[in-house]
Structure 1
């Protein structure tokens, strides 16, 4: 019985590794921690570093309803859109100087050094 149980555990571990569901992928997805219904921007790549998050549009990250304290000093390196709409982001206040768009449920790194200042949910 013990041998069968040990073989079953070994087979399960091998199956998880074959499908890519190992501890390292769990750690990678944990880096993109973002509340449901929010868009999150990070100072580090792959959802690491400092995080600022919103559940609505913000025309000015430096003086809006949510102030992102690091956004004027450090560029945004990654984004996770866990909101209910696509999100467009901009270098300027009031949605000026478009940089890019991230679809609902997507995450990733930004190529370049962008000190973002506003975003528009549903603006893509």
Structure 2
């Protein structure tokens, strides 16, 4: 009998609580920014116009960077000292040229064995299971 006596009040309170929760959720959806699958990095150490590669995820570890194509990272004029011994785990393309859409990177010298492509002003973590040896800017589709 006691439950039957208070059931209407319990149901009313539950309905009010549900309505309040829905209102809070609706307001929050307008007040809070929507999350994205891949947030833009806040402080990537890669000079404007360069493409940068790191030995660790999240733009950490040792870095090599270029502002032009390089068909062999292990020979002059620009060399990447760790490219023969360490896998590349992250990349950021800070390119700014309107002539190019991205940078293509390769496991072999002279643009052999394409590993991936990263659009300008984008970057992120790579599989980290391979070494890279060359890259070039591209006007083609990337990403």
TM-score of the two chains, using structure 2 as the length reference: 0.65
Change (3 A) 1:39 1:62: same
Aligned to 1:95: 111
Q: Give the RMSD, CA atoms, in angstroms.
A: 2.0
Q: Identify, as 1 or 2, the structure richer in strand.
A: 1
TM-score by length of 1: 0.74
Map of 2:8 onto structure 1: none
Matched, 1:60 2:72: yes
2:48 paired residue among 21, 24, 36: 36
Distance 1:44 1:77 in 2: 5
Cα separation, 2, equivalents of 1:111 and 1:56 = 24
Gap change, CA 1:123 and 1:74, over 3 Å in 2: farther
Higher mean C-alpha displacement, 46-55 vs 110-119: 110-119
Structure 1 match to 2:7: none
**1:77 paired to 2:93:** no
Q: How many residues align?
A: 101
8 Å CA contact 1:88–1:123 kept in 2: the answer is no
Structure 1 segments unaligned to the other structure (5+ residues): 1-17
**5+ residue gaps, structure 2:** 1-31
What SS does the aligned partner of 2:127 have?
Answer: strand
Structure 1 outlier segments of 4+, above 3 Å: none
Larger Rg: 2
